Amino acid sequence: MTKKADLLLTNAIVLTMDENLKSYEPGAVAIKGDSILQVGTEADLRQEISASEELDCGGKVLMPGLVNAHTHVPMTLLRGLADDLRLDVWLLGYMMPVEREFVSKDFVRLGTQIACVELIRTGVTSFADMYYFEEEVARATAEAGMRAVCSQTVMKFPAPDADFYEESLAAAREYIQRWHGHPLIVPSVAPHAPYTCTAEILQATAALAAEFDVPLHTHLSETAIEVENSRNEHGMPVIPYVKKQNLFDAKVLAAHCVHVDDGEIFTLQHHKAGVAHNPSSNLKLASGFAPVMKMLEVGLNVGIGTDGPASNNDLDMFEEVRLAAFLGKVTTNDPTALPAQTALSMATRLGAKALHIGDLTGTLESGKRADLILVDISRLHNTPRFRRDHNGLYAQLVYAAKSSDVTDVMVNGKWLMRGQELTTLDESELSANAQEYARRIDTFLIAREKSVLSKLVAIGGATESETFEVQAKARIADPAPILEAVERSEVEILHHRHYREYDVYFSFSDPEQGYLRYREDESLDEKGEVSKVRYRLTMLGPAREYQFPSDVLLSRSRYIAPATHSLRFYREYFNPNQETVVEKDRLRWRVLYHGTEFYINLDNVKVPDLGYFLEVKSRTWSRRDAEYKANLATDLLRFLGVSPQENIAEDYVELIEKPG
């Protein structure tokens, strides 16, 4: 009895990419509706199938479409925006500020359409995405006819589509409800990463994904710094930490997993998590080498992803597959490791399983959706073809073929590309619209990069606030008389502290930009032990606003905030043209002097070795108030036994202005 099919693809080298890597030559694939009816030799299928349409594949390779296991498709619009930077500077300094400003539904739709063109052209039929306004990604993807796991981002920072995480979590729930059961789209939730989420967010997103039995997509253990911070903050590396937050209650798709140990790999395997290996992204951001061979050995489903096109900078899976094979070899010092057929399995069958859609796609087997591609291996760069070793064909596809050899793409039984002509997308307008976004983003960044302050505001999420201080400084030889004077009754001590301060001043070629001070404060207790450490970032205005007689300065501090990033981050982000290090031991008193609040700082400046300085200062809000306090400051200095000295304040400012 013959079975009825809608389409019979014949005269093909059929690579099923199933578990046994079955192949047929000449092979055929019968398609009925959205699914594969049967796969086999052409002779067998001709006997068993009657198809309403037959297509001669001209001896091309017919294989499952590739699965891009991790990407952020709308970021096609940010491709080439900022490169050759460290992950935190790139992400927190450039991507997120620009995203907060520009990412909208329109942006996401256009970016997704551009990505779909690129993905279809390079033989991808399914992908796992993570971005904002993910419902727009899902809509544009479904319109393009592609299959995807589309994950709505949730994180602790304000996002382009939500001011608070509760908003994005609620949006994720509604989106999952609306798209659940869609033939092409698997809706999903994406807590961005453990370091951009709170424990509460990790728990809530895991519960949401488990409730609807949809995948949870996240970034785990991407960099060594991330793991180090996790150890410091949580006392454990990343995988046990997220396990503790019940993340593995959900079907997890974890991107990267570069810095995971054997125990963590076992945990991932035990919870059937999928892993997305991103060779280009890990190489470009120098994140390190994921232990892919170990993961495969324990049976983890490891797929291959391009990551976002802003960190790659393309969506070419042929390139990723090749790099995955190369990395597998070089990291194990073993050229037999990660052979071509394994690399190609990762980009098809294992990738689909990593996305938790292995029942739908990833292989050519009857019952699975008809997601397939034709690859022309007859072009000159692909010739000749040896037939002695069957695996030679996989090697040919992985090491010699190019993504441009893909000629035809079908998803869910529908052609998206025929003879390299796209059927669902019109490319003509896309690049002009993308260029318009680039122009606007360029303008935004050029304005921002002009000012240290606006760069600071961009990453701090804080608004500008200005404070003025009256400061009187003096160099002193002996601190003992000061210590005695402070105890006298004219001065009422409100508070006393002992610090060790490490300051790094960044200065810039344009002096109008002022200075940026990164301060590490170590609070010392009575025994001289460190009781608290505080990191602060202060933006100081150009050296002085106004100078009163007797070297009293009115200085301006325009912004002060906890320093939440490392000194290294700020150095790379602000790119100062000079750095000055000052280390000092500080005794600080907050006092009332004639009814006015002052800080008295007795500093022993150790680096550079300048000895003792005495500083009295008070906050001020108006010029009149400043004049009054300037006189009082001089007075207080005298009371403490220090006569105003010529140009001491000047010296101190000079130290920062013209160090060395």
Question: Which residues of this chain interact with Zn ion, rule CB under 5 A?
Answer: 307
Contact, 112 vs 140, CB < 8 A?
yes
Pairing of the two strands 406-411 and 372-375: antiparallel
* Separation CA 522–CA 531 (nearest Å): 7
Closer of 131 and 468 to Zn ion (Cβ): 131
Contact, 146 vs 411, CB < 8 A?
yes
Smallest separation, CB 223 to Zn ion (Å): 12
Closer of 307 and 408 to Zn ion (Cβ): 307
3-state SS, residue 265: helix
Element (H, E) at 408: strand 406-411
* Separation CA 639–CA 597 (nearest Å): 15
Smallest separation, CB 232 to Zn ion (Å): 23
Smallest separation, CB 257 to Zn ion (Å): 12
State whether the Cα torsion 121-127-129-135 is positive or negative.
positive
Closer of 226 and 307 to Zn ion (Cβ): 307
Smallest separation, CB 70 to Zn ion (Å): 6
Smallest separation, CB 194 to Zn ion (Å): 14
Smallest separation, CB 448 to Zn ion (Å): 24
Smallest separation, CB 609 to Zn ion (Å): 48
SS3 content of the chain, % helix, strand, coil (to 5): 40, 30, 30
* Separation CA 283–CA 295 (nearest Å): 19
Smallest separation, CB 196 to Zn ion (Å): 11
DSSP labels, 555-573: EEEEEEEE--S-HHHHHHH
Closer of 196 and 538 to Zn ion (Cβ): 196
Question: Side chain identity at 601, as an amino acid letter?
Answer: N
Residue number of the CB atom closest to Zn ion:
307
Closer of 222 and 405 to Zn ion (Cβ): 222
Closer of 307 and 469 to Zn ion (Cβ): 307
Residue 213: which region, alpha, beta or left (left: phi > 0; alpha: psi -120 to 50)? left
Contact, 459 vs 559, CB < 8 A?
no
* Separation CA 518–CA 541 (nearest Å): 14
Closer of 88 and 307 to Zn ion (Cβ): 307
* Separation CA 227–CA 284 (nearest Å): 19
Smallest separation, CB 503 to Zn ion (Å): 36
Closer of 230 and 341 to Zn ion (Cβ): 230
Closer of 42 and 307 to Zn ion (Cβ): 307
Smallest separation, CB 430 to Zn ion (Å): 23
Contact, 560 vs 473, CB < 8 A?
no
Smallest separation, CB 395 to Zn ion (Å): 29
* Separation CA 112–CA 130 (nearest Å): 11
Pairing of the two strands 49-56 and 61-64: unpaired
Closer of 91 and 409 to Zn ion (Cβ): 91
Token pair of 275, please?
Answer: 């892993």
37: CB partners within 8 A, 6+ apart: 3, 5, 30, 31, 49, 366
Closer of 307 and 501 to Zn ion (Cβ): 307
Residue whose pair of structure tokens reads 């690859």 in the numeric block: 375
